[in-house]
Structure 1
Amino acid sequence: MSRCPDRFPRSTPARRTRGVALITVLSLVVIVCLILVAFVAAMRIERTASYSYSQSISAEQIGQGGLRRIIAELQNEMGKDAAPLLDYPRKPIYTNVSSTNIMPQYVGTNADMPNLLKISTTTAPYTGTLSSGRLVATSVNTSVAAQNGRFVDTNRWNLPQLGRFPGANTTPYWVLMTRSGVTNGSGIGFGATGDTLNNPAAGNTNFVIGRFAYAIYDTGGLLDITQAGHPTSISSSDLQQIKGALPGASLSDSSLSIDEQKLITWRNAASRSSYVSYVTNFLATNAIGTVYPGDNTFLSRQDLIKAAKDGIAGLSTNSLPNLTTFSRDRNAPSWGPTFNASDLGGTNSSLYAYRNNAGVSTTTPFTSANRNPNRLLPGVRFSSTHTITDYDSSGSAYTYKVEPGDAVVQRRFPLPRLAWVGSSGPNGVTAAAVRACFGLSWGASADPNLAGVNVWKYEELTPQSTIKTLDQVASEGRAPNFFELLQAAILRGSLGVNGNAGVTSGTAYNLSIQQTFPAFQILRMGAAAIDQADVDSYPTVIEYQQSGSAWQACGVESLPGIISVTPVVGVPYSSPQTEGETSATAAVYLSFNLWNPHRTTPNNVPELRIRARGSVGVYNMHGDPAVLTSTLGSKSEPGYLADIDEAIELTPSARTGFTTPATLMTTDLQGAKPPATVPTDVDRGEWVEALPLGASLSTSIAALRLSDFRYKLGAASAITTERYQSTKVALGYDNTSPFNAVMEFKSPSGAWVPYQFATGMNNDLTWFNSLGGNFYVVSANARTDGKYFANFIAYLGGTYPAGWTINANSGAVYHGVTNDPWSSPAGTGTVYLTYNNTWERSLMFASNDPRSTRFNTWMFTRNGTVPLGAARSMLLWSSTNNAAPFEKGFGGDSNAVQLKPAIFGTSYFPAQLSRNNFGSSTAISAPDNGVTRTGAGSETSYTDSDGLRRVADSGLYIDAGATTGNPFERALDKPIVLNRPFRSVGELGFVFRDNPWRTADLFSSKSADSALLDVFTIQQSTEPVISGRVNLNTRNPAVLKSLLSDALVDPIDASSLSATDAANLAAAITQFTSTNKLINKSDLVNLVSPYLSPTTGTTKSANFSTLDDQNLKPRREAFIRALSDTTQTRTWNLMIDIIAQSGRYGPAASALDKFIVESERRYWLHVAIDRFTGEVLDQKLEVVTE
């Protein structure tokens, strides 16, 4: 039965309205309750979030505060042994830098992690005589769990991929952060009251609010992967152009685990097609971090690690311990002298106590007129504010400001600027740029012999005609120029050594005055550097005012120079003297030997000529007074005085010839006249083919023929013992017209300019003045056969008269008489004009090294059994002449040497100056500064003004009879002119320093030139901070190997260091620096090079492949060239890995490990700190995401 609808209750409208209202109210109540509940829940969530956020902020603050404290501790470490110099309090200078403190002290490290420098540990981060570090950690290792279970295991600490901690106990320890700073908790307890670690009372400064731990890595010894490496397809010649920069590093070695080509393809996606230009133009001149358009780079270490893990850019995780993305260096030198001359066996004079005087300018032993040029460079500073104008690589001016206390040398000097000094004036830049950067102006010479000819003129001189020192530059508010920096970098005591030291007047004094002045030598070195780096063969001539006279310092190109001048007086075969004749006519010649001692074939050779200028006196007691109307000499002997000025051009082939010392031949001259040509005037000379020597009828020797000399002999001209000297040829007889033979080049303007002198330089005080050779008429001693000989007048060709003898072996031509011509002349009283031993018995005015103006005038008698051809070539030292008396080269005692520099001993063998080692196999570093070898044999050597005997370029060879080490004989031993821009600052080692056979010394312990490596650079950046340098004290041999591999060993034959050679050198260098930290790049020269082979000669070190690689200076310096521009020692490049935790100790805590961690942050701070100033040069913070 169905329910009837009428049974459902019926409703009324009023009751329906009241029900709806109730439901609405109840619904609103529910909604409000829900809102309240939601609000309360949201507030609780927000409170939790806010607390978490506040704790994260706390962790961030603790981490950043910890980093600031760590950096401060590192800066404080710099003064742990000696306080900094605070004459400018806001700009301290640390002058105590030494091998023991150049790097931060290693603390908490382990053998498995060569890059690890420090960790937070219970040991002080440094200890010193003045102070010790205060950032000492608790005894709680980070691997120990906190109260709430948080800990940091080795895997997390290994995240930077700079090495792996071998165990939990080797990881960092926690440092506590309280309200008042850091503590290790020592002496502070726990408790609810008092100054405890866990009492949160507002006034408790010991309350712990967090903790942090850190590891510091030395990333300065790693390869900056944003720059290192090059395309594997790059040609050898292109590679050598960039080898002096980090992109020239080889990354192909398996130990680096890098696919170099994939790296370059990814990183240099756009620039690899023109990689040399990218390196030398873009990378060298742009600011740090500038990325070439279209290229890629690594933005952080985490970015690098991710790429390695993902196999991007040819990287793997095995390569990471050798790589960094952050490298910085202050672009300014930090060199200061590291030794006194007495330390190495030199003089005790306070003037040469270089290290002791590094902070001294004008105080004793110096004065305001004689200032100290060799200072600790960061310590020479401006005393007031200045705006400095400098010039970029294009020659455009830019400015920067300096304040009191800033170093005068704000930038290393870029060697590419040398190209601005052209052979016709400023090259591609303004005159103002050259004037500012070099102190040079292009203008008319003040030398009257070059009137109207433009030369480079040095303008920045003191009233004492010296180059200004850096403190004088500072007072002028400008940047130092090239020559001022050169002077600052070269030790004073190695300059200005005078071969006639102690002689205060007269001819010998004048002949060597230019040797005394350091300014002249510095300018010559600078000119030689310019000539090394240019592409032509026009010598650079720099004129300056020395005591009111215009002196010219000439550079050195690969051109022939005059090595000797030989007067020859002989009877022509056309009028030979015969028995009974009482007169004869002798021809008078000046013969010249030329030599280009370089290995290099010159480029763009200018026209050259030889010129003879000045007076020549020829006289003899037996001259014919009817013809020879002048009376010369102390005996008023008949003769003539010629005042000549004769020049003749060399042929094109001769300009590039004379690769061995050789007499000038007719084929070398343009327009030599026939043999019979005789000057028509006594003041004239003729360049002629000389009459043949000895029995030969054709020699083609060219000489300058002077007027003939007429003899009148016979009973009326009796010979007495006081008149035993015969014909004199006096060069510069008239002291108002000194004599010289000069090599000149034709400048682009068409003017003839001197570049080399047989003696001295352009000032004629240094020329031959009353120097003569005596050609004896008769011998004073009888031969064993009882005959006496009338010697030393050459018989010039043709058929010999009856009774004359020719020695086929020696070429000797002689004639004997049975009566003693001294006391009992022959029946007719006739003395025959004969000659013994032909030309090699002539007197010769010789130079040790045609490039040098030092010790370059001496006179000797050529004698012995030398074949005529060898004598003519005048080989001072030849392997073909090793038998006595030539085993040391030509020379000997006073019987052979008529004139020599005063500083040398009785026996003088000038060829030995090409070694200057007195026969020692340890001359590279030996403290013995003797100049004479003891025992058997005799060596010729000298010491510089500071008493140090510095070896010459061939000084690492010792066998006097060997071909090797002999620039007179072997091409490999000859110097090199690059004729191209420098590719490494180490190539300054090719620059001639105006000492015989000495280029800038970048290989020996006594080097006075090693600071050049720090003062100059090939990088053209205008920035005060640069990148892409590796710390020389790296513990990673693989890094050094990458820099050394493929480095050019010999620029002539283009040989380079093999991977094996590079590995051996890298291992040896890192072994040395593991216990002997280098404080400057100069230490590569003074310390590392001698270490690589302390004994040289025939003893070969395992660090070199061959004796030539070890002993030949250019080859030995290969590692210097490879490292000099790619490395640094001044800047600490560090990565600080810090883990910071905010939190607290609970009320019940009773031990240091009961810390409650509330939040955590991790940072990697890359920081560069200047070791000499403590300044933070740059920093980059990475927030680490784990």
Structure 2
Amino acid sequence: MSPSPDSFPRSNPSRRTRGVALITVLSLVVVVSLILVAFVAAMRVERTASFSYSQALSAEQVAQGGLRLVVAELQNEMSKDAAPDSTYPQKPLYTNVSSTNIMPQFVGTNSAMTNLVKISSTTAPFTGSLASGKLIASSVNTSTASQNGRYVDTNRWNLPQLGSFTNANNTPNWIIMTRAGATNGSGLSFGTTGNTANNPASGNTNYAIGRFAYAIYDVGGLLDITLAGYPSTLTPTQLEQIKGALAGVSPANATNAINQDDLVQWRNAASRLSYVDYVTNFLATNAAGTVYPGDNTFLSRQDLIKAAQGGIAGLTNTVLPYLTTFSRDRNAPGWGPTYNASSLGGSNTAIYAYKNNAAISNSSPFSSSNPNPNRFLPGVRFTSTYSITNYQSDGTSYTYGVEPGDELIQRRFPLSRLKWVGPNGPNGVAGSVVQACFGLIWGTSDDPAYPNTPVWKYVGSSGTTKQTRIKTLDEVASEGRAPNFFELLQAAVLRGSLGVNGNAGAGSGTPEYDASAQQTPPMFQILRMGAAAIDQADSDSYPTVIEYTQGSAPWLACGVESLPGIASITPVIGAEPGTQTTTQTSANAVVYLTFNLWNPHQTVSSPPRVRIRVTGSVAVYNLYGDSSALPDTIGSEPGFISTLGNQYLELTSTAASSFGTPATLLQTHVDTSSTSLGTTSATPSPSTSGVWVEAFTLGSTSAATNAAALRLRNFPFKLGTSSTLSNSQVNSVKINLGYNAASTAGNGFNAVMEYYLPIDTGGAWIPYQYATGINDNTTWFRDVVASLPIVSSVQRTSDGKYYANFISYLSGSYPSGWTVDSATGVVQNSETGDPWSTPGSGGKVHIDHDYSWDRSPIFASNDPRSTRFNVWTFLRGGAAATSAAQSTVLWPASNITAFPKGLGGGSSAVERKPTIFGDNYFPAQLARNNYGRNTAIADTNSNTVAQSGSSSETSYVDNDGLRRISDSGLFVDANGATGNPFERNIDKPVVLNRPFRTVGELGFVFRDGPWKTLDLFSSKSADSALLDIFSAQDSTQSFVTGKVNLNTRNQDVLKALLVGTVIDPVASISMDSTTAGKLATAISGFTSTNKIVNKSELATVVSPFLSPTTGGTSSGNFLNNDAQNIKLRREAFVRALGDVTQTRTWNLMIDLVAQSGRYGPSATALSQFTVESERRYWLHVAIDRFTGEVIDQRIEVVTE
């Protein structure tokens, strides 16, 4: 039976309560114990973490302090030899920059590491005459193990992949950081008391808290891989458009370990599809480092290294020593004149001591009215606070602030702005933008000869009044604005090279003085250069015309396009065929003015409508003229005066594109739809004027060779045996161009080439070239006289007399009994007597070919583009075939043997020439201007006007006494065709008719001297500063990216910059890898011992070094002699390097390892440091060499 509930044992309630309490207490004890254990553990972990964190902070502080010290030491190095200009104490300026200090001093480097600049070592980081570096390391090498076994071996130091430390002996040493700062430890002692390195007492400043070591690399000489490289799909034409930028450089030409296609496909994932636009627009208009949407980039060097290690973007480890991700350049010039004229054999005159005067504005030898234009550019600074307005590539304005002491030129002037100066006014931007950037406004000319004709006017950056001078940069700075194009151009071109006058020394008011008035003002030449630069960069063929005020007259400075110009004017006198008989006692001579045209350029684009306009007075007179038939008396001789009131003749479009070879203007060249060309029998109406007609040339009646000449009235002669002449009177007929203009300026004679500019009001004819002088008629032909041959110089056998009884025939058949010997050109009478009398038996009268059309005087230009040296007059003495008489021009083709030194010669042939030249005048030699010396590129001994033994050499010196060679000045052969623009097409200049792709292309710009473009190739260059002041790249920032230091020790990088550059844009010759390699080797060899201070030295220093002797001597650094001696080909390396290089900014990577810690109480040596924490940084820093300013920096925390 089951027990009842009452039978079960009952529990004690009090005992149950006590048991639960015990269990609860014990549980709480366990929990508390666990909490206490956890707390103690956590506190111990926290203590360790806090200690580690504090030590990490200490290491970071040591690292950052070390980096600041290293950068400061680099800045201090800049004043090691001279203190900076402290006019503005907060903005120091280093004015002593030279080839010996333009780069940091090398310390602790080795031949295996071309990129290494310095390491921390026991040697001072720099030494100088004024100061030496203080950041000297201890004797403890980083490869030496610390007290607790820490060290930095070569593998770790080689982590940047910029070269390899070959052994521990050449790795950096430790610099000790104490509470007082950095030290090499030489004064430290050890001990537990006193001011020792291991006494932690709070007042001990010698207590060591850490150490650091560094290696500094020059990454400025490497290729910025964030920019370099382009798609292989680009056409040659597309590649040429970007060749002036680093984006147009192939890094594969520096090392073939780069797969460029893979690089571009990864980096330019989106932009490669329109790469040229990406380079020319996106990169030019966005801040440095901006990444195109959809593209990739390398954010740091570690990023680059990881990509190379992973085979990403076509990279491998072997390419890393050639590449960087950081490149900066101060976007401002650092140029200052590098020589005095006297140092190169020139003038000792004080104003031509360019280098000595670089810091002078308007004090002696200058003045406030004649300030110095050629200053040390960083030294031209603002004196007040201003807000400067500048403009982006689309004309949009932006502003930046400047303070006292800031440089005036804060941004290089981008040549892309030249497109704003259009043929019909401002192009794509507001007129105010053009005025601000060029000082130009669009308006109608003030020249009364061109009323309502639109031209550009130089008025300066404000106002509307035409200026009489261009302001200097110091004046611009005082106005608180950015300088305009012409102000910069004036600052760049040495003053003593401007304004050379062919009639120097002529008295004021004399015909010689007036005729060359336009040659003296430097402003006129600067404006012409600027206009020519605009014409090079535009796509049209309308020459740019700029008007300014000279004295009180409006002067027109005309640019240069590829158009025909007047090479010479040839007056011709002779009888028409069939007009004389043997019984006549008088005859009428026809007088013509013929015009010889030449387009001296290699390239011809689509020309505008072109015409020739002739105006002024012409007199023809002769003692034996028929006074009864001639209306005027000139002096005491009968003659006539023709007044030419703007006689026009328009060329056909074909002719406007022709005249690549000098030739006489022919009937076939005339646009008869706009110009009425008279027949051969047409005469002027009224007779006192002139008429355009077909004129027979000697010995021909072919319409294809008929000249288009301006016919004047006939000249009646009396004939007969009584009209005897002496031998000196053979050329007794005289022609006077600009008759009586010396007293009446309006009588001045000239022929003008004009182009038609279509405008809304119907168009206008605008001048672009004058046969002599400019639009100011005081510079025209004014009473310029030449003789015309009318009889043979062969004496008659019977009596030895000369008879004025025959006038040279112009063409067609001769009178009965007369024949022409086609072989000799001699016209002779087959009868045995005079056709108008009966001389003694056996007499013959000869009319030598020299005394026909081809013997006429010529008023010739040295260079149809140039206004310098004006027209000269000579009697042609050639023996060209009769059928070639229409080629009566200055330097006809195929006359090398006959005229080896160019037409001219002694005073018997040259009737009028510039006064600075001697009796022997061979103007073709002005295409060389080297005095026959094959060292002219750097010659300091050829600056005299007359050189012993070289009287047949025609040459001149500039106002500063320096002979600066012309474009063909590297050729020296006396009789060959090489280097002769009159004979070889490749020696002619080129008009690009497209935007400049590199600043070096300014070398194509005409300089307004015979056969001279801007000189970017010789030691005496007065134009080399252009390479530093201007840029083909546009940027609104104060610094730009993608520049390589010219002093790079990495010749493969230089080679990459050179490969593919266009040597000749017309012949489509580009630089191959072999030639680029030779040039790179030569240039890097030069810079290994001679540092380049400024890009301008590519012209003045590097170019002469590459081939100090030219002519037929080849240096081996160029493809061939033509590549060496033809200016535009030689300057190819300058064009390649001009925009992608720099020298002003130090681009450095500082690899710094910092350790925090202490010396233990028992430490007795510097090597017994106990390391507690470590930090490593790579600091990329760009420092302006002229100011010491850090213009940009980027830091990487290195993860190992």
Q: TM-score, normalised by structure 2?
A: 0.94
Query: Counterparts of 1:521-600 in structure 2 under 5 Å?
Result: 521-576=525-580, 578=582, 581-600=584-603
Q: CA 1:152–1:866 in 2, change beyond 3 Å: closer, same or farther?
A: same
Query: Counterparts of 1:657-806 in structure 2 under 5 Å?
Result: 657-671=658-672, 672-694=677-699, 699-714=705-720, 726-735=732-741, 736=744, 737-749=747-759, 750-775=763-788, 782=795, 787-790=800-803, 793-801=807-815, 804=818, 806=820
Measured after TM superposition, the shift of residue 989 of structure 1 is 0.6
User: What is the alpha-carbon distance in structure 2 between the residues aligned to residue 820 and residue 188 of structure 1?
Assistant: 119
Q: Could you report, residue by residue, the CA deviation over 1:180-231 in whole angstroms, capped at 9, with x for unpaired residues? A: 1110011221122222211211111111110000000000011111110000
- Partner of residue 922, structure 1: 935
Measured after TM superposition, the shift of residue 628 of structure 1 is 1.6
User: What is the alpha-carbon distance in structure 2 between the residues aligned to residue 785 and residue 413 of structure 1?
Assistant: 78
Measured after TM superposition, the shift of residue 10 of structure 1 is 10
Paired residue secondary structure (1:448): coil
Measured after TM superposition, the shift of residue 385 of structure 1 is 1.1
Do 2:725 and 2:802's aligned partners in 1 also have CA atoms closer than 8 Å?
no
The residue identity in structure 1 corresponding to 2:1193 is: Q
The residue identity in structure 2 corresponding to 1:969 is: E
Measured after TM superposition, the shift of residue 23 of structure 1 is 4.2
User: What is the alpha-carbon distance in structure 2 between the residues aligned to residue 963 and residue 64 of structure 1?
Assistant: 67
Deviates more, 1:620-629 or 1:1045-1054: 620-629
User: What is the alpha-carbon distance in structure 1 between the residues aligned to residue 257 and residue 700 of structure 2?
Assistant: 74
Measured after TM superposition, the shift of residue 833 of structure 1 is 11
Paired residue secondary structure (2:210): strand
The residue identity in structure 1 corresponding to 2:563 is: L
Do 1:877 and 1:888's aligned partners in 2 also have CA atoms closer than 8 Å?
no
User: What is the alpha-carbon distance in structure 2 between the residues aligned to residue 584 and residue 697 of structure 1?
Assistant: 25
Paired residue secondary structure (1:576): coil
Q: CA 1:340–1:280 in 2, change beyond 3 Å: closer, same or farther?
A: same
Measured after TM superposition, the shift of residue 373 of structure 1 is 0.7
Do 1:420 and 1:426's aligned partners in 2 also have CA atoms closer than 8 Å?
yes
User: What is the alpha-carbon distance in structure 2 between the residues aligned to residue 795 and residue 1127 of structure 1?
Assistant: 65
Measured after TM superposition, the shift of residue 933 of structure 1 is 5.4
Measured after TM superposition, the shift of residue 873 of structure 1 is 2.2
User: What is the alpha-carbon distance in structure 2 between the residues aligned to residue 625 and residue 113 of structure 1?
Assistant: 93
- Partner of residue 478, structure 1: 481
Q: Could you report, residue by residue, the CA deviation over 1:670-719 in whole angstroms, capped at 9, with x for unpaired residues? A: 23221001112133211111134247676412211011111234577676
Paired residue secondary structure (1:1115): helix
The residue identity in structure 1 corresponding to 2:615 is: R
- Partner of residue 4, structure 1: none
Measured after TM superposition, the shift of residue 33 of structure 1 is 3.4
Measured after TM superposition, the shift of residue 960 of structure 1 is 2.0
The residue identity in structure 2 corresponding to 1:536 is: D
- Partner of residue 986, structure 2: 972
Q: Could you report, residue by residue, the CA deviation over 1:947-972 in whole angstroms, capped at 9, with x for unpaired residues? A: 11111111111112111111101111
User: What is the alpha-carbon distance in structure 2 between the residues aligned to residue 643 and residue 536 of structure 1?
Assistant: 32
Do 2:644 and 2:690's aligned partners in 1 also have CA atoms closer than 8 Å?
no
The residue identity in structure 2 corresponding to 1:754 is: P
Q: Could you report, residue by residue, the CA deviation over 1:863-915 in whole angstroms, capped at 9, with x for unpaired residues? A: 1323345554245446733335x221211011010011011111000001111
User: What is the alpha-carbon distance in structure 2 between the residues aligned to residue 486 and residue 315 of structure 1?
Assistant: 43
User: What is the alpha-carbon distance in structure 1 between the residues aligned to residue 868 and residue 618 of structure 2?
Assistant: 24
Q: CA 1:787–1:1161 in 2, change beyond 3 Å: closer, same or farther?
A: same
| Gap runs ≥5 in structure 1 | 1-7
User: What is the alpha-carbon distance in structure 2 between the residues aligned to residue 744 and residue 916 of structure 1?
Assistant: 30
Measured after TM superposition, the shift of residue 790 of structure 1 is 4.9
Do 2:685 and 2:691's aligned partners in 1 also have CA atoms closer than 8 Å?
no
Measured after TM superposition, the shift of residue 817 of structure 1 is 12
Measured after TM superposition, the shift of residue 516 of structure 1 is 0.5
- Partner of residue 148, structure 2: 148
Q: CA 1:549–1:274 in 2, change beyond 3 Å: closer, same or farther?
A: same
Q: Of the candidates 1182, 1195, 1200, which is equivalent to residue 1168 of structure 1?
A: 1182
- Partner of residue 491, structure 2: 488
Aligned-residue identity in percent: 63
Q: CA 1:695–1:801 in 2, change beyond 3 Å: closer, same or farther?
A: farther
Measured after TM superposition, the shift of residue 236 of structure 1 is 0.6
Do 2:63 and 2:1152's aligned partners in 1 also have CA atoms closer than 8 Å?
yes
Measured after TM superposition, the shift of residue 82 of structure 1 is 0.9
User: What is the alpha-carbon distance in structure 1 between the residues aligned to residue 642 and residue 261 of structure 2?
Assistant: 75
The residue identity in structure 1 corresponding to 2:135 is: L
Measured after TM superposition, the shift of residue 348 of structure 1 is 1.5
Paired residue secondary structure (2:625): coil
Q: CA 1:326–1:1054 in 2, change beyond 3 Å: closer, same or farther?
A: same
Q: Could you report, residue by residue, the CA deviation over 1:843-873 in whole angstroms, capped at 9, with x for unpaired residues? A: 1100011000011310000013233455542
Pair 1:126-2:126 in alignment: yes
Deviates more, 1:459-468 or 1:615-624: 459-468
- Partner of residue 452, structure 1: 452
User: What is the alpha-carbon distance in structure 2 between the residues aligned to residue 936 and residue 44 of structure 1?
Assistant: 97
Measured after TM superposition, the shift of residue 820 of structure 1 is 14
User: What is the alpha-carbon distance in structure 1 between the residues aligned to residue 357 and residue 500 of structure 2?
Assistant: 21
Q: Could you report, residue by residue, the CA deviation over 1:105-124 in whole angstroms, capped at 9, with x for unpaired residues? A: 11110100000010000000
User: What is the alpha-carbon distance in structure 2 between the residues aligned to residue 959 and residue 113 of structure 1?
Assistant: 46
Q: Could you report, residue by residue, the CA deviation over 1:130-163 in whole angstroms, capped at 9, with x for unpaired residues? A: 1000000000000000111100000000001101
Measured after TM superposition, the shift of residue 1126 of structure 1 is 0.7
The residue identity in structure 2 corresponding to 1:908 is: Y
User: What is the alpha-carbon distance in structure 2 between the residues aligned to residue 351 and residue 655 of structure 1?
Assistant: 44
Do 2:196 and 2:204's aligned partners in 1 also have CA atoms closer than 8 Å?
yes
Measured after TM superposition, the shift of residue 625 of structure 1 is 2.2
The residue identity in structure 2 corresponding to 1:760 is: G
Do 2:726 and 2:801's aligned partners in 1 also have CA atoms closer than 8 Å?
no
Q: CA 1:952–1:1043 in 2, change beyond 3 Å: closer, same or farther?
A: same
Paired residue secondary structure (1:881): coil
Measured after TM superposition, the shift of residue 389 of structure 1 is 1.3
User: What is the alpha-carbon distance in structure 1 between the residues aligned to residue 254 and residue 9 of structure 2?
Assistant: 98
Measured after TM superposition, the shift of residue 602 of structure 1 is 1.6
Measured after TM superposition, the shift of residue 269 of structure 1 is 0.5
User: What is the alpha-carbon distance in structure 1 between the residues aligned to residue 833 and residue 784 of structure 2?
Assistant: 33
Do 1:694 and 1:811's aligned partners in 2 also have CA atoms closer than 8 Å?
no
User: What is the alpha-carbon distance in structure 2 between the residues aligned to residue 722 and residue 872 of structure 1?
Assistant: 27
Q: CA 1:1080–1:254 in 2, change beyond 3 Å: closer, same or farther?
A: closer
- Partner of residue 1041, structure 2: 1027
Do 1:79 and 1:94's aligned partners in 2 also have CA atoms closer than 8 Å?
yes
Deviates more, 1:345-354 or 1:650-659: 345-354
Q: CA 1:1146–1:786 in 2, change beyond 3 Å: closer, same or farther?
A: farther
Paired residue secondary structure (1:756): strand
Pair 1:626-2:628 in alignment: yes
Do 1:614 and 1:739's aligned partners in 2 also have CA atoms closer than 8 Å?
yes
- Partner of residue 5, structure 1: none
User: What is the alpha-carbon distance in structure 1 between the residues aligned to residue 797 and residue 1031 of structure 2?
Assistant: 68
Measured after TM superposition, the shift of residue 770 of structure 1 is 0.1
- Partner of residue 5, structure 2: none
Do 2:849 and 2:879's aligned partners in 1 also have CA atoms closer than 8 Å?
no
User: What is the alpha-carbon distance in structure 2 between the residues aligned to residue 722 and residue 893 of structure 1?
Assistant: 17
Measured after TM superposition, the shift of residue 1058 of structure 1 is 0.8
Q: Could you report, residue by residue, the CA deviation over 1:251-276 in whole angstroms, capped at 9, with x for unpaired residues? A: 23372411000000000101111100
Paired residue secondary structure (1:773): strand
Q: CA 1:869–1:900 in 2, change beyond 3 Å: closer, same or farther?
A: farther
User: What is the alpha-carbon distance in structure 2 between the residues aligned to residue 860 and residue 1185 of structure 1?
Assistant: 81
**How many residue pairs end up in the alignment?**
1171
- Partner of residue 31, structure 1: 31
Q: CA 1:1136–1:790 in 2, change beyond 3 Å: closer, same or farther?
A: farther
User: What is the alpha-carbon distance in structure 2 between the residues aligned to residue 994 and residue 825 of structure 1?
Assistant: 58
User: What is the alpha-carbon distance in structure 2 between the residues aligned to residue 785 and residue 391 of structure 1?
Assistant: 84
User: What is the alpha-carbon distance in structure 2 between the residues aligned to residue 556 and residue 345 of structure 1?
Assistant: 33
Q: Of the candidates 505, 515, 519, which is equivalent to residue 515 of structure 1?
A: 519
User: What is the alpha-carbon distance in structure 1 between the residues aligned to residue 952 and residue 9 of structure 2?
Assistant: 146
Measured after TM superposition, the shift of residue 925 of structure 1 is 1.0
Measured after TM superposition, the shift of residue 387 of structure 1 is 1.3
Paired residue secondary structure (2:904): coil
Measured after TM superposition, the shift of residue 760 of structure 1 is 0.7
| Gap runs ≥5 in structure 2 | 1-7
